[in-house]
C-alpha cells in the first residue's frame, strides 16, 4: 500500500522519492488543495508554518500524521485534530544549535566582544581570561540536543550534567534542580516550551545559580522570565547568552537590547547552511517508519 504525503517544496519531493510505500505530492502553502491531494495521510507543513496551515485539516479526512521540519512543536498546541499524530524533526538541528551554545560560551569566557571593542578603540589590553575547561555545566533538557551537548562538552574538558523530566540512567530529574543549580557555573536550557517549562527560569531559579554563572537559553523565550533575568544581569551577578527572547522578536527600546553581561542573537541557533537537507533526511526517516506501519520516533509526548 502506498500513502500520499503532501510536501511544501521540491526538496521534500526529492527527499521522499526513494522512500518505500510513499507518494510525495507537492502542494502550494496557502493555495486550495487539488482533488487528488485530499486523500493524503501525511502532511509536512513548511518550516515556518503559520496558523493558517491548520485550515487545511478540514480538507484532509484521511490525515493521520503531521510531520514537522522543526524540532519545536509549541506552535501546534491545540491545533492537531484528534486521531492525528504529530512528529518533530528532532535530530536535524541539534548539531547547529550546539555550535551556537559553544560559540556564545567561548565568546563570554574568552571575552571576544570586549576585545573587539578594544580593537575599535585601538587598545591593546593583554590579560588573562576565563576558560570553558573544567567548568561544570548543567544541561536542562535531555533529548537529542542535550546528548549532543554532553558529547561536545566532554571534548572541551568541561563536565556536563543532564536534567530531564524524570530521572533515568545518566539523567537527573527536574525535581533535583534546586540542589544542582548552585554547584554548576553554566546552565544551558534546551527544553521544549510546554505548560511545565513556561516560566520555569524565574527569580528563585536564577537566585540558586552561583555568582558569575552563565545562563544560556537555546530553548524558547518564554522558558525564562525576562524581568527576573534582567534584574540579575543589571546587578552584575549573572551573565547570559540568549538566542530566544520573550517577547520575540525583541521590540525597539526593550531593556534586553542594552542589558549588560549579555550575548544576544536573533533566534539563529539552528539557521545554518544545509539545515533543510538535514531536516528532510529526518522527516523522510519518520515518514518511512509510518509508511511501514511503525511508530515514528519523534512523536510529541511532552517530555524532555
The one catalytic residue in 74, 99, 111, 248 is 248
Residue 255 has what DSSP assignment? G
Residues 32 and 122 in one domain: no
Contacts of 19 (CB under 8 A, 6+ apart): 284, 287, 288, 291
Counted domains in the chain: 2
28 is a catalytic site residue:
no
**DSSP H stretches of helix in 144-302:** 144-155, 177-180, 203-207, 226-235, 275-291
Residues 104 and 245 in one domain: yes
Q: What is the pLDDT of residue 50?
A: 61
64 is a catalytic site residue:
no
- Each residue's pLDDT tens digit, 210-269: 999 999 999 999 999 999 999 999 999 999 999 999 999 999 999 999 999 999 999 999
CATH number reported for the structural domain that contains residue 69 in this entry: 3.40.50.720
Domain contains 29: yes
Q: What is the pLDDT of residue 178?
A: 97
Q: What is the pLDDT of residue 29?
A: 87
Residues 193 and 203 in one domain: yes
In terms of residue numbers, what domain contains 229?
94-264
Contacts of 126 (CB under 8 A, 6+ apart): none
The one catalytic residue in 110, 198, 254, 267 is 267
Residues 86 and 134 in one domain: no
- Each residue's pLDDT tens digit, 289-302: 999 999 999 998 86
Residues 198 and 234 in one domain: yes
pLDDT above 70: residue 5: yes
3-state secondary structure of 76: helix
Of the pLDDT bands very low, low, confident and very high (cuts 50, 70, 90), residue 304 is confident
Domain contains 258: yes
Contacts of 257 (CB under 8 A, 6+ apart): 250, 264
Contacts of 138 (CB under 8 A, 6+ apart): 160, 161, 163, 180, 181, 184, 186, 187, 188
d(CA 92, CA 80): 22
Residues 257 and 172 in one domain: yes
Residues 278 and 255 in one domain: no
* Residues paired with residue 251 on neighbouring β-strands, in sequence order: none
Domain contains 299: no
d(CA 186, CA 136): 6
Q: What is the pLDDT of residue 73?
A: 81
Of the pLDDT bands very low, low, confident and very high (cuts 50, 70, 90), residue 140 is very high
pLDDT above 90: residue 119: yes
This prediction has a pTM of: 0.88
What number is the average pLDDT over the span 113-124?
97
The one catalytic residue in 90, 220, 225, 278 is 220
- Each residue's pLDDT tens digit, 14-59: 999 989 999 999 999 888 899 999 999 999 998 876 657 888 898 9
- Each residue's pLDDT tens digit, 160-200: 999 999 999 999 999 999 999 999 999 999 999 999 999 99
- Identify the H or E element spanning 103: helix 94-109
220 is a catalytic site residue:
yes
- Each residue's pLDDT tens digit, 256-293: 999 999 999 999 998 899 988 999 999 999 999 999 99
Residues 9 and 147 in one domain: no
Domain contains 78: yes
Reported in sequence order, the residue ranges of the chain that DSSP labels E, i.e. its strands, are 3-7, 22-26, 42-43, 65-67, 85-87, 136-140, 159-164, 172-173, 186-189, 214-217, 239-242, 262-264
Residues 217 and 105 in one domain: yes
Residues 280 and 172 in one domain: no
Residues 108 and 224 in one domain: yes
Residues 134 and 205 in one domain: yes
Domain contains 234: yes
**DSSP H stretches of helix in 110-259:** 112-120, 144-155, 177-180, 203-207, 226-235
Q: Give the chain's largest Cα–Cα span.
A: 70
Amino acid at each position: 500500500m502506498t500513502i500520499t504525503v503532501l510536501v511544501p517544496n521540491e526538496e521534500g519531493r526529492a527527499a521522499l522519492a526513494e522512500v518505500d510505500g510513499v507518494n510525495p505530492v507537492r502542494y502550494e502553502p496557502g493555495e486550495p488543495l487539488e482533488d487528488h491531494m485530499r486523500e493524503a495521510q501525511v502532511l509536512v507543513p513548511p518550516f515556518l508554518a503559520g496558523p493558517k496551515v491548520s485550515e487545511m485539516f478540514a480538507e484532509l479526512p484521511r490525515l493521520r500524521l503531521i510531520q514537522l521540519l522543526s524540532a519545536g512543536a509549541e506552535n501546534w498546541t491545540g491545533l492537531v485534530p484528534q486521531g492525528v499524530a504529530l512528529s518533530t524533526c528532532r535530530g536535524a538541528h541539534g548539531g547547529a544549535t550546539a555550535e551556537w551554545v559553544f560559540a556564545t560560551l567561548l565568546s563570554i569566557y574568552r571575552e571576544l566582544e570586549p576585545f573587539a571593542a578594544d580593537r575599535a578603540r585601538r587598545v591593546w589590553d593583554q590579560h588573562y581570561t576565563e576558560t570553558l575547561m573544567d567548568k561544570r555545566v548543567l544541561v536542562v533538557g535531555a533529548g537529542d540536543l542535550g546528548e549532543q551537548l554532553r558529547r561536545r562538552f566532554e571534548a572541551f574538558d568541561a563536565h556536563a550534567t543532564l536534567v530531564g523530566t524524570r530521572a533515568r540512567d545518566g539523567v537527573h530529574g527536574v525535581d533535583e534542580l534546586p540542589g544542582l543549580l548552585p554547584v554548576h557555573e553554566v546552565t544551558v536550557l534546551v527544553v521544549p516550551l510546554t505548560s511545565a517549562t513556561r516560566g520555569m527560569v524565574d527569580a528563585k531559579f536564577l537566585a540558586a545559580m552561583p555568582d558569575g554563572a552563565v545562563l544560556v537559553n537555546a530553548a524558547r523565550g518564554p522558558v525564562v522570565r525576562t524581568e527576573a533575568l534582567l534584574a540579575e544581569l543589571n546587578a552584575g551577578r549573572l551573565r547570559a547568552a540568549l538566542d530566544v527572547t520573550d517577547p520575540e522578536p525583541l521590540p525597539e527600546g526593550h531593556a534586553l537590547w542594552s542589558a549588560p553581561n549579555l550575548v544576544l542573537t536573533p533566534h539563529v541557533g539552528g539557521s545554518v547552511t544545509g539545515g533543510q537537507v538535514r531536516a528532510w533526511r529526518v522527516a523522510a526517516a519518520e515518514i518511512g517508519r509510518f509508511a511501514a506501519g511503525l511508530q515514528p520516533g519523534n512523536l510529541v509526548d511532552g517530555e524532555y
